[in-house]
Structure 1
Amino acid sequence: MTRPLVEFLSMTFRERHFTGAPLVLPNAWDAASARIIERAGAEAIATTSAGVAWSLGAQDGDRLDADAAVAAAARIVRAVDVPVTADIESGYGDVARTVRLVRDAGAAGINVEDGRVAAPERIAAARAAGGDLFVNARIDTFLLSAGGVDETVARAKVYVDAGADGVFVPGVHDPDVIAELVTRIPAPVNVMAGPGAPSVAALAGLGVRRVSVGPAIAVAAYSLVSAAAAEILAHGTYGGTDAVLTHGDLNGCFAH
């Protein structure tokens, strides 16, 4: 991918956080899932760190080698024609190095998470190394029961001051809480949807600018593997392998 194209995709990705309907990002974990999601109509691809880690034989939670994570992001960038934002967890040790590698691989954005305590130094390092990357600061207050609205807003303001372009708050589904976060956070807000969460239309009405689903699609795919394998081994039948996509469909994903 040429540098002018990377810069154009980065600009387009950034603008989508401020215009039109919320940016909806079904998360991918490898080249095939990214192409399938792109073909379904996604404007951009977000990676799921959990899905990437599992696909490479590692646990989620900064257990993946940084170079392996970057290589996975690079394969996804090469596989699609839309912007890609890479989930780099807490940075895999050296945040600045990881961000530079992801940027050089052609990504348009990154997610950087904090954890139980605020980590503005990670956001500052990502901003300094990221150039025109869209830096999405993930705040784990609700996901880890490490704080409520006030703590989340306080962290968000610190991260925006450190250079974050957007703020991601996974683990919150209550519409009133989401509305308050959107009102008080001075940046586009990303929430993680899924069972129990408001619909995309409802989230749009609350002012959410970005919607992702984390590892949900990867979990669903691996659940199908588990069920189909158990059926074949236990019963000798193949109902679990009935699929909408064909071998030809998947081959066709890589014909461009």
Structure 2
Amino acid sequence: MTISTSEDTGGSAPTTAHEKATALRALHVPGRPLVVPNVWDAASARAVEAAGFPVIATGSAAIAPVLGYDDGEETPVEEMLAAIARISRSVGLPVTADMERGYGLEPAELVERLVAAGASGCNLEDSDPRTGAMIDVDEQIAFLSAVRSAATDAGVDLVINARVDAYMQGPGSPEERLTESVRRGRGYLEAGADCVYPIFVAEAEAVRALVEGIDGPINILFRPGTPSIGELAALGVARVSFGHGLHKAVQAYAARMLAAIRDGESPYPSEPPTP
């Protein structure tokens, strides 16, 4: 199994906005997935860069609690964009930003502010972050098409990862959710998306059916119960992300350390030897 690394960005590290977007898009290779451990601040972004990953991806559900808010576009857009900008300034890699459904920004302003924050790409989802209701497919296609057109008109490149929430929010049986995810995914690619992100799909056969049915780069969320990264690669997945999973794990570890301190114990797994 082979995944993309920082050596796969075409030789020298990309430096301009256009080079970063081009590198990000090129890393979406079915069968050799771009693996993105989602970050929440500059420190976690630098850690991902130091580990050799080629791209930084933010997660709204990880950034929001760091800023003192709940996920679901509860974070003021100015604060979310400021967090993305701090992350972008702290690393030399392309940054793709989780923008939920755009925080109410019109497509032209969304593109302008993403580029100003240093982002080369973005996630855009197709359910209402506040209510969970699925957005009408034609409305979402029009929205994605408008974002793509706004980027073109502004003379900037932007890698769009179009999230499909049918497995998370949609009604119906697993078969009906699969059919709806394929329908939406095809439409989103035609509207100008670069990758389709059917979040919360976990079964290997469903992943295979999505890869074959959508016939374009597919992003899968890695979480307990999901096939391994190697298995996802064999299924033809082009991108694997972690959402807020890493942030949750870090917070849980910190909570255990704090409980140990409260109880008068060492918070470390083993004490260093005494000099």
Q: TM-score range by the shorter chain?
A: 0.7 to 0.9
Structure 1 counterpart of 2:166, from 121, 131, 141: 141
> SS of 1:129's equivalent?
helix
SS in 2 for 1:194: coil
2:84 pairs with 1:73:
yes
The 1-side partners of 2:25 and 2:167 are apart by: 25
Match of 2:23 in 1: 12
Which has the bigger relative contact order, CA under 8 A and spacing at least 6?
Answer: 2
Q: How does 1:187-202 map to 2 (within 5 A)?
A: 187-202=216-231
Q: Which amino acid aligns with 1:46?
A: A
Alignment partner, residue 251 of structure 1? none
- RMSD over equivalenced CA pairs, Å: 1.8
- Asked if structure 2 preserves the Cα contact closer than 8 Å seen for 1:66 and 1:98, the reply is no
Q: Secondary structure at the match of 1:82?
A: coil
1:37 aligns with 2:48: yes
- Equivalence for 1:102: 114
Normalising by the residue count of structure 1, what TM-score does the alignment of the two structures yield? 0.88
Distance 1:226 1:132, change over 3 A: same
What runs of 5+ residues in structure 1 fail to find an aligned partner?
Answer: 244-256
Spell out structure 1 runs of 4+ moving beyond 6 A. Answer: none
What SS does the corresponding residue of 2:16 show, helix, strand or coil?
Answer: helix
Correspondence for 2:72: 61
Matched, 1:123 2:149: no
The residue type equivalent to 1:159 in the other structure is: Y
Contact conserved, 1:95 with 1:122, CA < 8 A, in 2? no
Q: Supply the distance in 1 between the matched residues of 2:145 and 2:266 (Cα, whole angstroms).
A: 52
Task: State whether residues 40 and 59 of structure 2, in contact with CA within 8 Å, keep that contact through their aligned partners in structure 1.
Answer: yes
In 2: Cα distance, 1:208 partner to 1:197 partner? 12
Q: Does 1:85 align with 2:96?
A: yes
Q: Which runs of 5+ in 2 are unaligned?
A: 1-13, 128-133, 271-275
Quote how far apart the aligned CAs of 1:145 are. Answer: 4.1
**Identity level (%):** 39
Q: Superposed, which structure 2 residues align to 1:168-207 within 5 Å? A: 168-207=197-236
Measured in 2, the distance between the counterparts of 1:210 and 1:19 equals 8
CA distance change for structure 1 residues 182 and 20 in 2, over 3 Å: closer, same or farther? closer
Helix, strand or coil: the match of 1:143?
A: helix
Q: For 1:159, what is the secondary structure of its paired residue?
A: helix
What is the CA–CA distance in structure 1 between the aligned matches of 2:217 and 2:31, rounded to whole Å? 13
| Pair 1:210-2:222 in alignment | no
Deviation at 1:81, TM superposition (A): 1.3
CA offsets 1:124-182 (integer angstroms, 9 cap, x no match): 23212333110010000112244511100111122112211110111011000000100
Shift of 1:20: 7.1
Per-residue CA shift, 1:171-203, capped at 9, x if unaligned? 011000000100011320000012111111100
Instruction: Say if 2:31 and 2:237, in contact at 8 Å, map to a contact too.
Output: no
Structure 2 residue matching 1:155: 3-state secondary structure: helix
**How many residues are treated as equivalent by the alignment?**
239
Scaled by the length of structure 2, the TM-score of the pair is 0.82
